[in-house]
């Protein structure tokens, strides 16, 4: 089961996403729960690199209403940056004060050596010493691994020296093995404005959605297609599936969408990542989720394939006829249309090719 909620009321939408999910089948009020966001660098979530504090706040409120009393936030920023600075500048110290939630800097933590699939690795004890871990990544592209989402977010649960070693080992297989050793209780993906190409942020693409599910491989494989990749394009997903971390998303998986009638209209003037592609697009009241799929698709193709004529997208094209390519179900009157609400970037790429 995957639940998706659209809109800009981030905390409420996160709460509603969990309330509509099957998390209650796995969670117990007596559990100790660890929340693992992505705070790779100190900076605002609007840059597309870090988990919005409002997402974590929505999870905290849901857990408290569920009866959970033992909650902590755990994280380790990437090598060279301070987790404590990230907690401060990303808005997490306010969550600590408001809800009396401890912030655990895993850079200061002890570790235990475990092994899976031939890979020995040191894992921070705080990540292991919990009954239920909620993985809260940002859905964003990555210059090395193409996608960074649920599986790769757990790389923040290992010491800095181990992070360096993962790269010498080729990163993909160790990341998959790490996810076999750290059991994820549930995944809540911040899909508000993930970066277009790089883990550090700077090219955010506004999508305004929260995505949640139990299986990290399933959630990652679903998210991969949203930004223009097939699951097998992401090596650590292939390995994760192979060693039993989870299964790929398929059409048999139940997908529940909330607030579809309230999908926000994107302000293309504020979309920095879209500047280089705007000359290809004829936009009229496009929803952010639909528009972001188009931007991810165009970015994936780069300069290798320029569209013939304008690409039409937006609610303003409902009921209209036209020649050329339309993106989204609102443009089904065009001679060629990539249907979906929103369509996946992978489908848009195929249409452009």
Mean pLDDT (the chain) is: 91
- For residues 234 and 300, state if they share a domain: no
d(CA 167, CA 5): 34
- What is the structure's pLDDT at 80? 81
- What is the structure's pLDDT at 270? 47
- For residues 235 and 333, state if they share a domain: no
- For residues 347 and 216, state if they share a domain: no
Residue where a domain stops, chosen among 234, 260, 286: 260
Residue where a domain stops, chosen among 213, 234, 260: 260
The residue range of the domain holding 308 is: 268-352
- For residues 239 and 344, state if they share a domain: no
- What is the structure's pLDDT at 195? 87
- For residues 217 and 284, state if they share a domain: no
Number of structural domains in the chain? 2
- For residues 252 and 338, state if they share a domain: no
Task: State the Cα angle at 128 between 180 and 66, rounded to 5°.
Answer: 100
- For residues 311 and 336, state if they share a domain: yes
Residue 184, domain CATH: 3.40.50.11440
Residue where a domain stops, chosen among 228, 260, 292: 260
216-255 pLDDT tens trace: 999 999 999 999 999 999 999 999 999 999 999 999 999 9
């Amino acid at each position: 089961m995957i639940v998706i909620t659209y809109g800009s009321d981030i905390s409420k939408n996160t709460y509603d996403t969990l309330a509509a999910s099957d998390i209650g089948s796995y969670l117990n009020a007596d559990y100790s729960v660890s929340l693992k966001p992505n705070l790779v660098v100190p900076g605002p979530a609007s840059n597309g690199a870090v988990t919005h504090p409002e997402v974590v706040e929505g999870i905290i409120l849901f857990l408290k209403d569920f009866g959970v009393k033992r909650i902590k936030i755990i994280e380790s920023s990437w090598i060279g940056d301070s987790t404590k600075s990230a907690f401060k500048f990303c808005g997490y110290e306010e969550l600590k004060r408001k809800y009396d939630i401890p912030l655990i800097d895993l850079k200061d933590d002890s570790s235990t050596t475990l092994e899976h699939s031939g890979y020995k690795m040191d894992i921070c004890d705080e990540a292991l010493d919990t009954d239920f871990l909620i993985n809260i990544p940002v859905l964003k592209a990555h210059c090395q691994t193409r996608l960074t989402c649920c599986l790769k977010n757990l790389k923040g649960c290992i010491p800095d020296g181990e992070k360096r070693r993962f790269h010498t080992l080729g990163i993909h297989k160790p990341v998959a093995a790490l996810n076999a050793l750290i059991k994820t209780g549930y995944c809540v993906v911040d899909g508000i404005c993930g970066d277009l190409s790089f883990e550090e942020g700077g090219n955010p693409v506004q999508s305004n959605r929260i995505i949640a599910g139990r299986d990290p491989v399933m959630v990652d494989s679903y998210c991969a297609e949203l930004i223009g990749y097939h699951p097998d394009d992401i090596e650590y997903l292939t390995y994760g599936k192979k060693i039993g971390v989870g299964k790929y998303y398929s059409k048999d998986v139940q997908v529940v969408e909330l607030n579809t009638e309230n999908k926000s209209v994107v302000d293309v003037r504020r979309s920095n990542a879209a500047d280089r592609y705007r000359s290809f697009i004829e936009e009229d009241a496009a929803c952010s989720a639909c528009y972001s799929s188009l931007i991810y698709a165009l970015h994936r193709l780069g300069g290798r394939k320029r569209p013939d004529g304008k690409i039409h997208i937006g609610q303003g094209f409902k009921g209209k006829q036209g020649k050329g390519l339309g993106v989204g179900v609102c443009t089904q009157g065009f001679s060629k249309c990539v249907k979906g609400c929103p369509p996946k970037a992978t489908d848009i790429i195929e249409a452009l090719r």
